[in-house]
């Protein structure tokens, strides 16, 4: 196979060479792997940001020990849990929210940073849209794509509540609806943590 020269940032190449040596690869092999991955992303309709999204998603999956399951499976498990014991199911959702909120706080120090993190990985997660509007000391939030049934959307709303509390908000109202839409209103308590997202 013929070889070609590629232009890249010198500092980036130097850092890459160090990591490649640690893993026992060659620059030729790793460059081909990276280019092949990027080519597949472009062929699938992705763009240059998709690779960054995949890296961020990989780190999140690894850190939280996330196991991929189908939406159908998750929807039915949550529904069964709520039918069996609504209080216990809500408690599990609450603990999940606390765990996720603690993790997110290590990645994003305020709400603005959190929205930026979402923008990086939104193509890879079920949440399709987050809309935030600030009204003085309160914010209105609409999240789309948090489930199909009321049970899964309710669980997602409990998780959202815990995340907002971790970021210095007092949740005033929380309205999950069937179809995966959550409407929430929260009061800003800690201005530094709850920095308004950039518009």
- Express each pLDDT in 18-75 by its tens digit: 999 998 999 889 989 988 988 998 999 888 888 888 888 888 889 988 888 888 999 9
Query: What pTM did the predictor assign?
Result: 0.77
Mark out the alpha helices in 26-129 (DSSP H runs).
Answer: 27-43, 48-64, 71-84, 86-107, 111-121
- Express each pLDDT in 83-112 by its tens digit: 999 999 999 999 999 999 999 999 999 988
In three state form, how does the secondary structure of 153-194 look? HHHHHHHHHHHHHHCCEEEEEEEEECCCEEEEEEEECCCCCC
Q: Is domain 63-188 in CATH 3.90.1520.10, yes or no?
A: yes
- Please state the domain extents for the chain: 9-46, 63-188
């Amino acid at each position: 196979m013929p070889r070609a020269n590629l232009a890249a940032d010198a500092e980036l190449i130097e850092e890459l060479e160090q990591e490649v040596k640690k893993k026992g690869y060659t620059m030729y092999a790793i460059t081909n792997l990276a280019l092949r991955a990027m080519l597949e992303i472009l062929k699938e309709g992705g763009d240059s940001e998709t690779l960054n999204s995949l890296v961020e998603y990989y780190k999140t999956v690894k850190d939280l020990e996330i196991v991929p399951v189908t939406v159908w499976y998750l929807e039915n498990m949550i529904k069964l849990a709520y039918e069996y014991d609504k209080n216990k199911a809500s408690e599990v959702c609450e603990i999940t929210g606390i765990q996720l909120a603690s993790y997110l706080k290590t990645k994003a120090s305020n709400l603005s940073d959190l929205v930026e993190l979402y923008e990086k990985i939104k193509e890879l997660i079920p949440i399709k849209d987050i809309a935030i509007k600030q009204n003085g000391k309160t914010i209105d939030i609409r999240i789309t794509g948090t489930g199909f049934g009321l049970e899964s959307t309710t669980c997602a709303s409990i998780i959202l509540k815990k995340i907002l509390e971790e970021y210095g908000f007092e949740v005033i109202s929380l309205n999950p609806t069937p179809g995966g839409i959550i409407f929430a209103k929260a009061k800003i308590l800690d201005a530094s943590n709850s920095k308004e997202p950039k518009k």
